[in-house]
Amino acid sequence: MQRFCLALDLVEEEALIQEYEIYHAPGNAWPEVTQHDIDAGVLNIEIFRTGNRMFMILETVDEFTFEQKAIFDQTNPKIAEWEELMWKFQKPLPWAKEGQKWILMDRIFKS
């Protein structure tokens, strides 16, 4: 199993943050999106929030790569629809590249 940590910011509007959390509440995520993640080799996803900063832990199969996931995502129109909707709530971190959402974090400490 692999584990990745990623970060993203949300638009700083409380109503939008609440709406974003509703989309991610238990049972509310689109089943086509969650199944697509499973099919891509994602075993578990956890998202945490403080203020407008998001932190995601992604656990995957050993063979998982973000490059393969990106190619796989392009074949699914429901994923494109979900990502378009999520841009309403999300904003890139200041150091993100054009069009980049979630930024892979570097581990700097482990005990």
pTM score, whole prediction: 0.89
* Distance (Å, whole) CA 100 – CA 94: 11
22-42 burial, b for 16+ CB within 10 Å, e for fewer? eeeeeeeeeeebeebbeebbb
In the numeric block, which tokens belong to residue 59? 């656990």
Residue 6 corresponds to which amino acid? L
* Distance (Å, whole) CA 72 – CA 80: 11
* Contacting residues for 46 by C-beta, under 8 A, at least 6 apart: 56, 57
* Distance (Å, whole) CA 34 – CA 44: 10
pLDDT (tens, 9 = 90+) of the chain, 111 residues, equals: 999 999 999 999 999 999 999 999 999 999 999 999 999 999 999 999 999 999 999 999 999 999 999 999 999 999 999 999 999 999 999 999 998 899 999 999 999
Domains in the chain, CATH or no CATH each: 2-102 (3.30.70.1090)
